Each structure stands twice: as C-alpha cells, then as structure tokens.
Structure 1
C-alpha cells in the first residue's frame, strides 16, 4: 500500500506556500484598509469608489494574456519577485504622502492600478509554477491545503488590518501589506525549482503564443465551461463587491473595526470549504459539488439585502459570508484542480491567463456599471441586480456535461473514468513536456469572494 506523501514535509512546497500566504495576508489588510481610507478619510463618493475599484481591476483585463505568455516563456520565480517588489514600492508611497498631508484619491487610484499590474505578473507566474513543484497526483490535496492556509491568512489579515487601522490609522496600516510583499519575495527567492522542459519561445512572437493559449482552452469544453463559469461569477460578484464596503460602512453604519471582524469571520468559511472540497468531490463528484455550491451562492446574498443597522444583522451578514466563501472555496479549489490536471506543463500559464483575462474583463465593466446604477437607482437595488446575476454561472454549468463529472481527471488528454470518451482532454502543444497549486491575489482561495 502506498503511504500518502505529506505536503508539509515538502520543503519547496512549504516555501512556495509561505510566500503566497504572506502575500494573501497583506492583500486582506489592503482589502480592509483601502475602502476605509477612501470612504472615511478621503470622503469618496459612490462614483469615486467605483472608479477606484475599476482602476484596480483594469490591469488583469489588459495584461493577463501577455503575462501568461511571459510566464510560460521566462523564469517564473523571477517574475514573481519583480511583481512583489513593484507592489511594495507602490503601496509604500501611501503612508509617506499621508504623513506629508499630501495624500489624494487620485494617488490612491494610481497605486491601485500599479499594484494591479504588478499582481498580474506575479500571479501568472505563481499559479503556473505550482504544478511543477508537486506531482499531479497531489494537485487536489495541494489546492485544498492552499485554500485552507490562504483562508486563515485572509482572516488574520482582515483582523490585523482592523487592528493596524485602529492603532496607526488607515494609511500607515498599509505598511503591513508592504511587509507582506517583501516576505513573499524572500520566500520565492528560496524556492528550488527542478528544470522543466519548456516551449521554446521566439522573441517577438508573443501574440502567437497568446493565440495558442486561447485555442487550447477553446478546444476542450471542460476548460471552456469552467472558464465561462468563472467569468460570469466574477462579473456578478464584481457588481456586488464594488458597493459592498460602501453599503456596510455607510448605509448600515458599520464601524471600521466591525467591518474587519466581519471579513475575518467570513473568511473562515473559505477554510472550511477548502478543507471539505476533497472529501465532497470524492463522495458526490466534482460536477454535482460545484453545481450545488453555485446554487447556494445567490441565497447567501439575502441577509445583506434585507439588513438594517444593528448587531443582529451584522452577525447574519457574517454567517452568510461564511457560507458564501465556503461554497466559493470548495468550488474554486475543485475547478482549479480540474484545469491544472488536464493541462500540459507548457500551457499552464497561458491556460490560466485565458481564465484570468475573461474573468478580469468582466470586473471593470461591472465596477463602472455598479457606480452608475448605484448613483441612479440606489445602492440596495444595485445589490439586488448583482444577486440575480449570480444565477447565470449556475445555468452555464447546469447546461454543460461538466455538471455530471464524477471523478477527477488525472493527466492531460484523459478524462475521468466516468467521463472517458465523453469529455476529451486538450491536445498538448507540439513542444510541451509532461510533468507531474492558486489564483491571483484578488481571488486566490475563493474564486471571487467579497
């Protein structure tokens, strides 16, 4: 009988995970602090909050495909380190200018855009690096461990952000995220990667490689369906998330500390979902499990839409967020494992880049739409519209054969034993080599939580 390999004894995996967990902790600090800084310190309007969100989410839509091609072409560790250092420098300018009493909403928007661009480069490399660090048989367990630790990191980061905001003020609290990027860069520099065969990249043909990635995803309807589910989910959640902080902080009169605690408690759901994902997929099958998670997600918005100021509603919102992030993490780790398992090594970054590009492209448009609708019809009706849109990815998955996928595929070009011959894998590119795992800073553990 084969003894299960302990991922916690896998030194390279531990270093990778430590760096990414530090980065997620910092992202949670910024996710909590930046809305507070914009709304409470800079008195941002509904439209300005929407623009801030739009500029932060625009870089993935513009740069994801190029970043994916670069990550398949160059050393992934170097790209990750560059992204971390650029983000650290950009964020460090906020407390500096705030100390000089020169901080403006315009600067905050520029920082959001620069950090977003650096994050695209980092994440394209980080997501595609993991399948070369662990054997394919360990991918689902790896994604589950990553989801758990990332959820814990997000919880710690949200609570740490609330504490730092109370102690130092929101601007200086961003130094926590600066430190997280430096720790991430240090851990990444210590990762030892075994040389893997790569597609030989010809300089000046980046668009050709991008086209290969687009065709690769389009040919396999598992990749195509899961990418479309991600994109439609992202658009609906972007509409909700753009006004989520504004609604809680202003309409429901939630304090900054309570806001951070609610985010932290809700993030525990992501840990629970990631922990349960392997056993749920084994018992019910990845297709039915993902379908159920997508069906529950719109229902978790009901407490938010009915809420009024008060402790009881704050608890209800935290509980609903717990369930939403549990569903998102369970479905997210599962679909990510499926995509990584059926994709050959030389296409990992470009496959993920296509998903990131389509998913990210929906976010800026949804952010602007949220700002327009929020100004025109009000914040709460806009949140209702976003909740209704969460039904779209459910319909997409329900109409696809992927809903009936009962086992995890194990390697490129093969389906699960229940679906073999029905769900063919994508063809490997000519020069890619076989090898024996986590999304961007925006949605690493949840595939799109608030």
Structure 2
C-alpha cells in the first residue's frame, strides 16, 4: 500500500505550519482539561458533598463511552474529514462544559448534571481519539513518530504542571463551577486553530466483503487485527492491566485523598499536583533519549513499572501539610516520568505497526478494551476506598499496576530497538484475515 504524501520535513517538525497549529491546539485543550480535572471533582466534593463512591462514578462515566470505541472507530474510519470531526468534538465539549457554570448561577446544579457532563464529554473524546491517529499519520513521517509523540506529550505534560496549579488557585478564588469556563474556552480555541489547518485527507479505502453490516464488519476487522498482531496484542494486555489498577485511584480519589485525609486546601492540592507533574514534562522530553539508549521496547517496559509503583509512596503521605504535600508531589513526579516513557514509546510503536486503512478501527478497538476497563477500575476503587480506606487503595494500585509489565516480557516487544528496525510486514495469526489486515 502506498504511503500518503508527507507534509512534514523529517528534519524539523516545528517548521511545518500544520504541525505547529495541531500541536498548539492540543496544548491549549490539554491545559483546559487539567483545570477541569481539579475543578469538577471539587464541585462534587465541596458543593455537593459527594462520597468516595459518588466521585468514582464521576470518573467511571467519563470513561464509559470508550466501551463503544470499537464501533465508533469503525464509523470514523469511514469518514473522510477527520480534521472536521475533531473540530466538532471540540465545540460539543465546550458547550457541554458551559452548562455547569450556567446551572450553578441559576442554583440548579446537581450531581446528576455532573454525571451527564462527564458522559457526554467522554463520548466526544472517544470520537476525537479515533479521528486523531489518522490525522497524526498524515502530518508526520514514520521516522519522526517518536519525536512528534514526544512533542505532543511534552505539551500534555506541561499542562499537568500548570493546569492543576491554576485550577486549584481559581477554585479557591472564584469557585469550582466558574473555573470550568477555562476548559470550555480552551476547546473553543482548539477548534479555531484546527480550522486553520490544511491537510490532504484521501477518501477511505473501499471495504472488502458484504457478509455483515458494514459498521460491524469494520469493527470486527479492527479488533481482529489488534488481537492477532503480536505487538498490539502484548501492548493491549499491558495497557489494560495498568489502566485498571491506576484507575482504582484516578484523579478524583487522589483529590479526595488530598482533601479529606491530608487536609490540603484547594490551592495546595492544585500546586502539589502541578509541581509533581514536572515529572511528566521531563519524561516526555527524555523519552526519545531513553529509547535510543535502551531501545523502544525496553523503554516501554521501564515505563510500565515506573508508572504505577510510586502510588505506594503517595499512600504513606502524612504529617504537616508541607510534608504531606511533598510526599504526594514526589509520588506524582515519578508517576509522570513513568507514564510518559511508557506512552511516547508505545504510541509510536503502535502507530508504526498499524496500516493506514485500519487506523481509526484499531484505535477504537484498542480503546474499547484499554480505556473501557477504566470505568470498572474507578468503580472498584470506590468500593475499595469505602471498605478499606484510601491508603490501602493506593497500595493496591502500585502492586497490581507493576504486574502489567509481565505482558511485555515475551518477544517481540523487548527486542525492538528502534522503529527503523521493524520489518515491512510483521507476521500475524492468519485465521481469516482480509488483505487489509497486513501492516505496511
């Protein structure tokens, strides 16, 4: 299959205007998301007196739409204009978020509305995620996947540094519901930036076979490719395991832990999470260096361990406010370092082994399992926290999450040194695959 025309110079991604605009769009919306990740749980905790179980439901509903990812990915693969889909989802999320401050000002804000906002923004996010990888592959040449993912992840990591601190400060100054306006405005800005991008988006490839309804058939092809491809199958097992365990805590229960157990103020919570998240920025910037030093596959494995393990450090936080905040911030620093080493290298590897004609379907199928387990993790975490306490839940996150690395130990992932070493075609199990199911 012929590779698409590449719009980005292999030597300098920053020189390409579409890449710069896309990067800026993502950076702005990620910053807004980090503000909301502090503000929305504090609406539930501070204004609506939500319990640990209710906060966990908020997280679960935000991720529940990923259970539809396999079908949504197939639907997105059939759409030509992925950029337009990203713009629409930005506008939808902005409108939904603005309903929170509006309801607050009218005195009608309820936990049910918070749940609805979490569900709808989550659904728009799944569609956006399925549309993102095909657009990424049109903007970036394969040799620059790790570098480009590093740049996007650096923006995301910077949002984890600044966003919680700004969010916590705004919550303390103007209240949590009004603070959500920042996230809504970030989505509007993102949509405007994406609207200025011009990128060649070819018509979707013709579908093969007509034995089943087209959408279900396409969804099945995406899932079959993930399950039968050795790299995608191993990475799916690892991601699903680490996501289940890390979502036992999730952002909501971490904020609850900081608020009710450590007794930190909203400003202190935001500042602690923001300072701790400098590890994410460092991880994003050093992920290409790590992959060159030890290989892409081994860098993924190192990240898989370092990502969940520091939750055990967070579990022992206590004492004076400065000591508790320092311990929690240190744990978050290591978590961020690990998650970026994991994400940057694994996302690049997955993009490299996925054929163009299947990108949205593979993303949707992968996300259905990988992200779909997050609501289950969040609800389980709420039950654990209610029964055994928040500290015990954080220890469970660390122990269970580290076990995810067992999926990566067998070949081929540990032996992959660089994306350039990947064969043009990597063998997959051949039971009933169509011609689209061979990576190029």
- TM-score normalised by structure 2 residue count: 0.91
Judged with a 3 Å threshold, the aligned counterparts in structure 2 of structure 1 residues 155 and 425 are, in CA distance, closer, same or farther, namely: farther
**Aligned counterpart in structure 2 of residue 290 of structure 1, from 280, 293, 300:** 300
Aligned to 2:309: 299
The alignment status of 1:383 with 2:378, answered yes or no, reads no
Cα separation, 1, equivalents of 2:333 and 2:69: 29
Which blocks of at least 5 consecutive residues in structure 1 are unaligned? 415-422, 436-450
Cα separation, 2, equivalents of 1:22 and 1:14: 12
| Structure-to-structure mapping, 1:251-330, within 5 angstroms | 251-310=261-320, 311-330=322-341
Judged with a 3 Å threshold, the aligned counterparts in structure 2 of structure 1 residues 116 and 282 are, in CA distance, closer, same or farther, namely: same
Cα contact 1:287–1:402 (8 A) shared by 2: yes
Give how far 1:247 is off.
Answer: 1.0
The alignment status of 1:116 with 2:126, answered yes or no, reads no
Cα separation, 2, equivalents of 1:123 and 1:160: 26
The alignment status of 1:361 with 2:366, answered yes or no, reads no
Give how far 1:166 is off.
Answer: 2.5
Cα separation, 2, equivalents of 1:399 and 1:97: 52
SS in 2 for 1:390: helix
Cα contact 1:32–1:162 (8 A) shared by 2: yes
The alignment status of 1:250 with 2:260, answered yes or no, reads yes
Give how far 1:163 is off.
Answer: 2.7
SS in 1 for 2:63: helix
Cα contact 1:225–1:400 (8 A) shared by 2: no
Which blocks of at least 5 consecutive residues in structure 2 are unaligned? 1-8
C-alpha distance after superposition, 1:334-376 (max 9, x if no partner): 0100110111111111112222111122111111111222222
SS in 2 for 1:192: coil
The alignment status of 1:70 with 2:80, answered yes or no, reads no
The alignment status of 1:211 with 2:229, answered yes or no, reads no
Cα contact 1:65–1:350 (8 A) shared by 2: yes
**Aligned counterpart in structure 2 of residue 17 of structure 1, from 14, 23, 34:** 23
C-alpha distance after superposition, 1:255-286 (max 9, x if no partner): 11111112211222111111111111111111
C-alpha distance after superposition, 1:10-68 (max 9, x if no partner): 1111111111111111110110111111111211111211211121111112x211221
| Structure-to-structure mapping, 1:70-219, within 5 angstroms | 70-74=75-79, 75-196=81-202, 198-200=204-206, 204-219=213-228
SS in 2 for 1:239: coil
| RMSD over equivalenced CA pairs, Å | 2.2
Cα separation, 2, equivalents of 1:256 and 1:111: 22
C-alpha distance after superposition, 1:136-170 (max 9, x if no partner): 11111101111112211332222221232133211
